[in-house]
């Protein structure tokens, strides 16, 4: 049985979706597989699972339920001055970790890896704190946009170089709560041409 609401329950949000790429069931299956792999690899190591707010919340919540070993969780929050500066990896830390990660096994969880620049910044920041290990888990990956090759130990789905939303991925704060991932219709994010002649 599907534990998520069906897409029909999101009529207003669905108006902006052109095509569903990954259903709620496909995502749930993949997250469960990732959780099982993490459980095997980190058994006996009590990892610290670190997520970046806000987009990672749906994925991280489901991933934590799929992990069958003891873990601890923490979050980072980043901000950029504009979407352009974030794409270039120019971000600032708005919320830092609450505990030291020195000598801890850290699993860094991301909703999506795009250019790799922001992830590179965050990983350098974490590694400077001398953890025992740092690995990356990402549910979504846009390999065609990658500017920096990033090692990702646990991967979910590859995405096309298109505007996708749902399951934590947003457009102007909307669509994060969709239980599936879909392509946003171009008319939602492209400026309208007001030329009439």
Q: Give catalytic residues, as residue numbers.
A: 114
Tell how strand 181-184 and strand 17-22 pair up.
antiparallel
Nearest to 147 by CA among 177, 118, 111: 118
Strand partners, 176: none
Only one residue has tokens 């489901």, namely: 62
DSSP string of 11-67, one letter each residue:
HHHHTTEEEEEE-HHHHHHHHHHHHHHHHHHHTTS-PEEEEEETTTHHHHHHHHHH-
DSSP state of 166: B
């Amino acid at each position: 049985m599907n534990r998520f609401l069906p897409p029909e329950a999101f009529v207003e949000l669905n108006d902006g979706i052109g095509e569903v790429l990954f259903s709620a069931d496909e995502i749930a299956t993949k997250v469960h597989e990732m959780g099982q792999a993490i459980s095997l690899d980190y058994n006996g190591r009590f990892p610290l699972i670190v997520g970046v707010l806000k987009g990672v919340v749906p994925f991280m919540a489901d991933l934590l339920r799929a992990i069958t070993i003891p873990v601890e969780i923490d979050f980072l929050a980043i901000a950029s001055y504009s979407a352009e500066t974030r794409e270039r990896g120019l971000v600032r830390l708005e919320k830092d970790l609450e505990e030291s990660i020195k000598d801890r096994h850290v699993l860094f969880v991301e909703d999506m890896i795009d250019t790799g620049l922001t992830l590179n910044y965050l990983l350098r920041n974490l590694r400077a704190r001398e953890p025992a290990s740092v690995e990356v888990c990402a549910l979504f990956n846009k390999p065609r946009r990658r500017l920096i090759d990033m090692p990702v130990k646990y991967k979910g789905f590859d995405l096309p170089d298109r505007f996708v939303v749902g399951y934590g991925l947003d457009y102007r704060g909307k669509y994060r709560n969709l239980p599936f991932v879909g392509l946003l219709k171009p008319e939602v994010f492209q400026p309208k041409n007001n030329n009439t002649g």
